[in-house]
A = this chain, B = another copy of it.
């Protein structure tokens, strides 16, 4: 391999342009403070040498990176991908760059990623959900890194949140299900440990049952990772139990689609033999047949609002204000009225 590569520095550019490094730096950052003549010379040198500023050095000198970090559970779920896309677009429009990493739903990995992004000089952070070890909040606080929590809303959170009320949303869907005459519900939940969204959703259903005098303890609940195949297995487990529900509510659309698939394979017709509901309203929900009854969440809006607010926080124009978004029911073919 080529023994050494010429990586041009500010100094090289300055020499080539016949000016000082300060002028080059000014030219690249606050170009209005530089004469047109110098600017041209510098730009030519930059072009010629293929110069790119060293980010680490810049961050160290300026204590500012115009970088925002986001840490999400997984890229494989469309809801994060979509919200993040909007987040990134809005950030970009405001002059910021987004750095993303994912945790595979592992709290220890998340803690690590938070430190990694902060070490990289992220000016602000976006996290998903509010449930995490207290030491992390302490760390964030001490470093003074503006942090916003999305995909969840909570009045009393230590950090500002932007999102919707997972419990109330699922409760609303549950109320509807009960309105339609269902009395025996089965529930397929995401893994609850460390995931406030999953846990809130389950609570929402239990709440709804209690309100109608039904005992939540009767309800078969199956925890599963958010994968189609696992949703399918969970569905089978539930349907083969002694307690046969007339409706299986799922923690998200991915699980619900898995349930629908398995129902089909088991020879059960949806919604004639069993109703199924989801949560999130991802594209998938309208692609399966029958279409999936679910809770619609404004992912894109959440993403762009989060970007706006986080930008304000980073620029010290806001200390972080929470924002609750509305979710809404999407009643489709997978849920039917019980005769």
- Interface status of A101 (Cβ within 8 A of chain B): yes
- How many Å from the CB of A320 to the closest CB on chain B? 10
Residue among B5, B76, B119 making CB contact with A82, cutoff 8 Å: B76
Of residues 67 through 106 on chain A, the ones whose CB sits less than 8 Å from some CB of chain B are 74-76, 78, 81-82, 84-85, 88, 97-102
Which residues does chain B contribute within 8 Å of A144, judged by CB atoms?
2, 4-5, 7
In the assembled complex, A242 has its CB within 8 A of some CB on chain B:
no
1/0 per residue, CB under 8 A from B, across A254-279: the answer is 00010001000000000000000000
A146-175 CB mask vs B (1 if < 8 Å, else 0) is 000000000000000000000000000000
Whether, in the assembled complex, A118 has its beta carbon less than 8 Å from a beta carbon of chain B, the answer is yes
**A225 → B minimal CB distance (Å):** 13
**Alpha-carbon separation in the docked complex, A283 to B228 (Å):** 9
Which residues of chain B are near A82, meaning CB under 8 Å? 76
Are A88 and B102 closer than 8 Å at their CB atoms?
Answer: yes
A181 at interface (Cβ–Cβ under 8 A)? no
Interface: A243 (CB within 8 A): no
CB of A106, distance to nearest CB on chain B (Å): 11
Q: CB-CB < 8 A to A118: which residues of B?
A: 52
Give the contact stretch, choosing among A10-18, A54-62, A125-133: A54-62
Judge whether B85 and A121 touch: CB under 8 Å.
no
Select one of B7, B56, B138, B257 contacting A60, CB under 8 A: B56
Number of interface residues of A (CB under 8 A): 52
Report the bound CA distance from A60 to B60 in whole Å: 10
- In the complex, whether A26 has a CB less than 8 A from a CB of chain B is no
A172 to chain B, nearest CB (A): 26
On chain B, the residues within 8 Å of A316 by CB distance are 1
Q: Is A120 an interface residue (CB 8 A)?
A: yes
Q: Which residue of B lies closest to A122 (CB)?
A: B55
Closest B residue to A55 using CB positions: B119
The answer to whether A57 touches B60, judged by C-beta atoms less than 8 angstroms apart, is: yes
Give Cα A241–Cα B240 distance, bound, in whole angstroms: 51
**Judging by beta carbons under 8 Å apart, are B5 and A143 in contact?**
yes
Chain B residues with CB under 8 Å of A329's CB are: none
Partner of A50, one of B78, B99, B142: B142
Cα-based distance from A102 to B288 in the complex (angstroms): 28
Is A50 within 8 A of B139, CB to CB?
yes
Residues of chain A in range 276-332 having any CB-CB distance to chain B below 8 Å: 283-284, 287-289, 316, 319
A116 contacts the other chain (CB 8 A): yes
Please determine whether B100 and A257 come into contact, CB atoms closer than 8 angstroms: no
Interface pair B56/A55, CB less than 8 Å apart: yes
> A226 vs B115: C-alpha distance in the bound complex, in angstroms?
35
| B-side contacts of A115, CB under 8 Å | 52
- Expressed in whole angstroms, the Cα–Cα distance for A7 and B55 within the complex equals 20
Q: Are A55 and B121 in contact (CB under 8 A)?
A: yes
Q: Does A211 contact B (CB under 8 A)?
A: no
Q: Are A143 and B7 in contact (CB under 8 A)?
A: yes
A-B contact pairs, 14 of them (CB 8 A): A2-B144, A4-B144, A50-B139, A54-B119, A54-B121, A55-B116, A55-B119, A55-B121, A56-B56, A56-B57, A76-B85, A85-B102, A99-B100, A288-B288
